[in-house]
Chains A and B, each alone.
Chain A
Amino acid sequence: MTLLAKALIRDHRKRPWNILFSILGVALGVAIVVAVDIANSSASRAFELSLETVTGRTTHQVLGGPAGLDESLYAQLRRQGFRESAPVVEGHVQARGETFTLLGLEPFAEAPFRDYANGARGEGVSALITDADAVMLSSRTAARLDLEPGDRFTVTIRGREETVTLRSVLETDEPGLDGIMLADIAHAQVLLQRLGRLDRIDLILPDHDTLERLRALLPEGAEVMATKSRNEATLQLSRAFHINLTAMSLLALLVGAFLIYNTMIFSVLRRRRLLATLRMQGMTGAELFRLVMTEALMVGLTGAILGLLAGTLIGQFLLQMVTRTVSDMYFVLTVTELHLTVWGVLKGLLLGIAATLAAALGPAWEAARISPRDALRRSTLERGVGRLMPWLIGVGLILMGLSWLLLQWPGQSLLLGFAALFLLILGYALLIPPALLILARGLASPLASAFGAMGRLSARGVSAGMSRAGPATAALALAVSATIGVGVMVESFRTTVDAWLGQTLQGDVYVSAPGRSGVGINPVLPEAARARLEALETVETVSTARRVHVHSPQGTLEMMAVDPAPRTPESYRYRAGDGSSAWRSLENRDAVLISEPLAWRLSLGLHDTLTLRTDRGLRAFTIVGVVQEYGSDRGLVTVHRALYDRYWDDPGVASLGIYLRDGLPLDTALGPIRAAVADLGSPVLVTSSGEIRELSMDIFDRTFAITHILRLLTVGVAFIGILSALMALQMERSKENAVLRATGVTPRELGGMVTLQSGLLGLAAGILAIPLGLIMSHMLIEVINLRSFGWSMQHQVSLRVLMEGVWLALLAALLAGIYPGLRMARAQPAEHLREE
């Protein structure tokens, strides 16, 4: 075996690029999986930590309706003997470019809950209470923001700027505090403009009886929830997003596996004579099988380790994007630490090795089958590949059939959806080599007429070297189909959202209170705003909206209370229900509209009832319509303002939709509107509907930026694959090429042939990627997206996305062909012939 190992090592030294590509392929695939895993788990971990830090030893929380809790409830509960209780006011503030959760606490009540007070350095906790502008940060955060105790700095809260003083820092490096700014509850109430209200009351309840006693004391609109389940529900918010990212990363690994297959089969083929000689010397097929598998294991292990290292680096970059998306879409997140778990590392290693071994099975089997007399025959393998074609077609079709069957499985499982998607991709990938064969044969004559003999030779070269060209093309086609599939999905989504925005923003100008956030009570407009705007001559009519969180037996839901303008009902697209009658019901009956994601998530439909906790207690509402809505991926309940006022004591309005008189140019109307709300005491945003649409689309694009990156990385893996395949192909053909050179073909012509061949492979991959891409996009839209969010979207296939895919494949192949082409062109025919 040592002799054998030496022989193999010598062989690899002679052709280092072959093994290097293998390793690179595994490394890239693993790197992407690990990077996504790190980004996902770091984001989740950071959020978990900050949740843990914020909730401390709290077992239950009393939460209020849309307007929060009346602060007097706290004193009442204390008087009723709920002594392990602490009031909390929280909201978001920006400081030095970062968003923080401002946590307003009552230090006297904190001891049972959180230990923040223990490590206060500087003026201590009492300064936090007695100084009206005092805040506290962890020492790590203070250092990050370059702040010292005593420093004054500016924070932005809902568009307002306020100056605060860092009175004390907490001597702790607890990462959960990285995104948290602490203040006395009184100060937080003032900063967040929440006088008289609390966001929640934290409690430690020893037993069920105490919980029941508490329930009996709470006003109708308040609800007590177990902290654990509330935190879990919050973490669930972004679950679908993380699963989708993981699936994308697995796709990259799959592409990587094709690449591994490619390089492994090449290494078997190339050493056919060496392996056959070994067989002649008495080695069994099983030993050769083990030999190739051991080699694969080494490649897999090395690649996986390199992939881990690279993944950690890429992960840091991805983490920023993930953090941004999560903050845009779900909750404010501050991540300062990469979260590397043993399990995450192990998973990356195992996936890399498993993918390598799985990909090496075929080549190892091939090696085991080599008989001593094959040593001298060259075409056995290609013939073997030819025999394999019907099998590939058969298995490919079976896998695709299985995928279809999986989709028929009842239920909403996202994981099953992804399983079906992967089966489809795998099945289709198996069909690519046969398709390539047909394509190459079919192209032989057209190419011959276009490029002469070199054209025919190129086409024949592809079909003759199918064992290499097949997997390489499959890998490239797969990667490109992913970019097409995801591209079509994103574009469809984008078009749908854009059209929806166009329809939903019926008003011309929107006036809103800045600073809506997922934490705490959302801001309202100054009361005078509406009357002032309605008084304007240019204004025809005004609609109002207030978006809040309401509790329900199914968890916290987003709700929008709308006081409609005459045109408001037109701004909805009804998936179920009748628009004209729905709004009459909304106004007069206990009726609601729900958005698609909510309908999907809670399996609700027209005429079903939805129970919500109102300030009058639990109430059931009839669903009179299911509407398209893309602002919330957890779903939105829309109610008429009249109903909201009947059931909730929250008179505020958060935004006004302004409908201008007909034909009035926007520019002339904006000035008076801005002037009318300029001196209301707190900042107010005046935005035209066009601007809102643009801003929304910006956020949309930002959300999908990470998807684009993953697509490109996947293509990167495929690029390596095609490069290595072309290298293999050309090396393999070096003798034939030498013969061609010897018979008078110029280096230029030879280089041209390589280019043509590369182009052919690229084009084939591009064309073959289109159907898969389209099926994939269909599955992404109709299965994955639906199961993740419940959104419907118009399937929008643009030629641009398809052409981009083909171009990408062609470009990758041509780029990959440059080096082998140059090598061929420069090769001295005599050298290659001498080898013979």
Chain B
Amino acid sequence: MSMIRWWSGGGLALSAVLLLAGCGEQGPKEGEDALAVSQALGGDDMEGYARALAPRDFQFPEDHAAHPAYRNEWWYVTGNLDDPEGRRFGFQMTFFRFALSPTPPESESTWATNQGWMAHLAVTDVAGDRHQALERFSRGGAGLAGAELDPFRVWLDDWELKAESGNDFPWRLLAAEGDLALDLRLTPLKDKVFQGDRGLSQKSPEPGNASYYFSMTRLKTKGTLRLGEQDYPVTGLSWMDREWSTSVLGENQVGWDWFSLQLDDGHDVMVYELRLEDGGVDPLSKGLWVEPDSRHQVIPQDAFELEVKQTWISPQGGTYPVAWHLRLPEQDRDLEIRAVREDQEMDLTVRYWEGAVDVFEAGQPAGRGFVEMTAY
């Protein structure tokens, strides 16, 4: 679900990457951010790309790999972990693919490609009072980055998400840079769930402004996390989103807030609100309620209520909500959501807030989750 706002404009994103990284800047400047939005919304030339027009017949393991005919795609893993002493961590590891043109250049060179890749890695250490975010870029050629099967592997340099063998779970997430390293093993506790209409997630009314979207909402996670000199054996739960699209946002949509919550009683909840220019919420906002046995149902926009309880002003100037009240009348649930720490802003080439949250119900801990907020 995440990051669509930026990745609606693939070529745009690349020039932003080259420009900003070239200037040695961390994160976009005010003016450039606005430019990115208007260009993305203005509908870059999408001719030649495949569009998400109708529900598709998902095929596995094929759909674990890349869909280069679509402009954007990601493998998005977030999770909450603890070490044996109860030290609390959140992590995010994402591989983004963006096409620079609909078709690859005709060339014999292994470097030739029309695909760009970006990867984000972030760790929140609650006890250590820190949130660290890293990013990488590469072309999708010469073995530098890509997604492939047999065995399944998505990688950018030495950051990778791969099957231990073949294409099936368990998968491993491996990443290291500087004094940060993770090595996590992901085992699903539930089946894949398909978002929206059998996996077609309509984001704005125009046909094709949609993505193909499925999730693994509950992955048992075990491994090690290195912060500085210290190795922490960790266990916990992760959530993986897989999504690909060519265009999504409509004219008047500015950004969104996305929630993935894993409740202690075995239920999982996803909801997102598409925010409109006028401050309202787009009726295409929706969610998904997943039972412990993987049965699931869509939560339409009028079937949930999200209320901001508290905000935080980032050093970069954005005012982000950091505490919410989520009511699900049909499920008869009343959830309080609170960021484990306020400062989980991803101050990277493309700036957003992505962080671990706690869920409470009637004042008691009821689960954990991850929240993403864009365009603040």
Q: Is A794 an interface residue (CB 8 A)?
A: no
Question: What is the minimal beta-carbon distance from B135 to any residue of chain A, in angstroms?
Answer: 11
B363 at the interface (CB under 8 A from A): no
A132 touches B105 (CB 8 A): yes
Q: Tell me the complex Cα distance, A120–B18, Å.
A: 10
Q: Is the CB of B139 within 8 A of A132?
A: no
Q: Does A187 contact B (CB under 8 A)?
A: yes
Cβ contacts under 8 Å, B21 to chain A:
111
Q: By the criterion CB–CB under 8 Å, are B22 and A108 in contact? A: no
User: Does B303 belong to the interface (CB within 8 Å)?
Assistant: no
Q: Which of B189-206 contact A (CB under 8 A)?
A: none
CB neighbours (8 Å) of B105 from chain A are 129-132, 186-187
Q: Judge whether B11 and A124 touch: CB under 8 Å.
A: yes
User: What residues of chain B lie closer than 8 Å to A473, measured between beta carbons?
Assistant: none
Known A-B contacts A72-B143, A125-B18, A129-B139; the reply to A108 vs B116 at CB < 8 A is: yes
Q: Which of A78, A120, A130, A189 contacts B157 (CB 8 A)?
A: A78
Bound Cα distance from A108 to B142, whole angstroms: 13
Contact across chains for B15 and A189 when beta carbons are under 8 A apart: no
Closest to B156 in A: A78
Interface membership of B112, Cβ < 8 A: yes
CA distance A187 to B111 in the complex (A): 8
A497 to B312, CA, bound (A): 80
Are B100 and A110 in contact, with the CB atoms below 8 A?
Answer: no
B107 touches A (CB below 8 Å): yes
Q: Are A195 and B158 in contact (CB under 8 A)?
A: no
User: CB of B294 within 8 A of chain A?
Assistant: no
Smallest Cβ-Cβ distance to A114: which chain B residue: B22
A75-B144 in contact (CB<8A): yes
Q: Are A108 and B137 in contact (CB under 8 A)?
A: yes
Question: Closest Cβ of chain B: how far from A204's Cβ, in Å?
Answer: 13
Q: Quick one: which of B130-182 are within 8 Å of A by CB?
A: 136-139, 141-144, 157-158, 176-177
A14 within 8 A of B: no
Cα A111 to Cα B23 in complex, Å, equals 8
Neighbouring B residues of A195 by C-beta, 8 Å:
108-110
A78 closest partner in B (C-beta): B157
Question: Once the chains bind, are B113 and A129 in contact (CB under 8 Å)?
Answer: yes
A287 within 8 A of B: no
Q: Verify B19–A118 contact, CB threshold 8 A.
A: yes
Chain B residue with the shortest CB-CB distance to A72: B143
State which residues 90-112 of B face A: CB under 8 Å.
100-101, 104-112
Q: Decide: A184 and B111 in contact? CB cutoff 8 A.
A: yes
**Contact flag A132-B112 (CB < 8 Å), given A108-B139, A111-B22:** yes
Question: How many interface residues does chain A have, given as a range?
Answer: 35 or more
Residues of B within 8 A of A130 (CB): 100-101, 104-105, 114
Question: Interface range on chain B: under 10, 10 to 19, 20 to 34, or 35 or more?
Answer: 35 or more
Question: Is B66 in contact with chain A by the CB < 8 A criterion?
Answer: no
Query: Do residues B138 and A108 form an inter-chain contact, with CB atoms below 8 A?
Result: yes
Q: Report yes or no: B113 in contact with A110, Cβ–Cβ below 8 A.
A: no
Q: A108-B116, A117-B19, A132-B106 are in contact. Are A126 and B111 (CB under 8 A)?
A: no
Q: Which residues of chain A are within 8 angstroms of B110 by Cβ–Cβ distance? A: 71, 186, 195-196
Give chain A interface residues in 30-75, CB to chain B under 8 Å: 71-72, 74-75
**Chain A residue, CB-CB nearest to B15:** A124
State A110–B139 Cα separation when bound (angstroms).
12
State A79–B157 Cα separation when bound (angstroms): 5
A130 to B177 CA separation, bound complex (whole angstroms): 30
Which A residues, 119 to 162, have Cβ-Cβ distances below 8 Å to chain B?
120, 124-126, 129-132
Residue ranges of A at the interface with B (Cβ–Cβ < 8 Å) = 71-72, 74-75, 78-81, 83, 87, 106-111, 115, 117-118, 120, 124-126, 129-132, 184-187, 189-190, 195-196
25 pairs across A/B with beta carbons < 8 Å? A71-B110, A72-B143, A78-B144, A78-B157, A79-B158, A80-B158, A81-B176, A108-B17, A108-B18, A108-B137, A111-B18, A115-B22, A117-B15, A125-B15, A126-B100, A126-B116, A129-B114, A132-B112, A186-B105, A186-B107, A186-B110, A187-B112, A190-B107, A195-B110, A196-B110
Other contacts beyond A129-B105, A196-B110: 9, CB < 8 A:
A79-B158, A83-B157, A125-B18, A126-B11, A126-B101, A126-B116, A130-B100, A132-B106, A186-B109
What 3 A-B pairs come out closest when comparing CB atoms? A186-B111, A186-B112, A111-B21
